[in-house]
Amino acid sequence: MPETQKPIQVVCIEDEPEMIELIKLILGRRNFELIGAVGGREGLGTVRRVKPDLVLLDLMMPDMDGWEVYQQMKADEELSDIPVIVVTAKAQSIDKVLGLHIAKVDDYVTKPFGPQELLASVKKVLNIDI
Please report whether residue 111 resides in a domain. Answer: yes
CA distances from 54 to 63, 80, 90 (A): 22, 11, 22
Query: What total of structural domains would you count in the chain?
Result: 1
Q: How many helices (H) and strands (E) does the chain have?
A: 5, 5
Render pLDDT for 4-40 as a digit per residue (tens, 0 to 9).
578 999 999 999 999 999 999 999 989 899 999 999 9
pLDDT tens figures, 57-112: 998 888 898 889 999 999 999 999 999 998 887 655 556 556 666 667 888 888 88
pLDDT of residue 129: 84
Max Cα distance, the chain (Å): 50
In a domain, 2, yes or no: no
- The residue segments making up the domain with residue 19 are 8-124
For the question of whether the overall pTM of this predicted structure is more than 0.85, the answer is yes
Q: What is the pLDDT of residue 11?
A: 98
User: Tell me, what CATH number does 38's domain have?
Assistant: 3.40.50.2300
- For residue 3, being part of any structural domain is answered with no
The number of beta carbons lying within 10 Å of the beta carbon of residue 34 is: 21
